[in-house]
Amino acid sequence: MIHEIPLTDTTGQHDCGCSETFDMEFDVRPVPHAIRHGAVFGALSSLKVGSGFVLIAPHDPKPLLAQIADRYGDAIEVGYVDRAGDGVGVRLFKSRATAE
């Protein structure tokens, strides 16, 4: 089975109140659960310093956020942008280089 992973260009739509710009929204809800965390880590590893994306998850991704903190420490800044509706939006921003 092939799953299309949607990335949505959200340039100009970022409204959480911070001054950062995000070009992508990564909706992981259609990604099979078995590879979902791996897909997010792949996306994070491809980020340049000063860039980020909004992750859309089917639930509050606390286990994933703990794994991100373990792997990246404070190099990836995390902030919720939406906890209502049918998905949880989490802003992930690479603020400094990582040891990957």
- Domain residue spans of the chain: 7-94
- Greater confidence (66 vs 11) lies with 66
CATH of domain 7-94: 3.30.110
Amino acid 43 reads A
The rounded mean pLDDT for the chain is 84
Is pLDDT above 50 for 64? Answer: yes
d(CA 92, CA 76): 6
Segment 72-87, tens digit of pLDDT: 999 999 999 987 778 8
For the sheet containing 88-94, what is the strand order? Answer: 7-9, 24-27, 52-57, 88-94, 76-82
pTM for the full model?
0.76
Res 84: pLDDT: 76
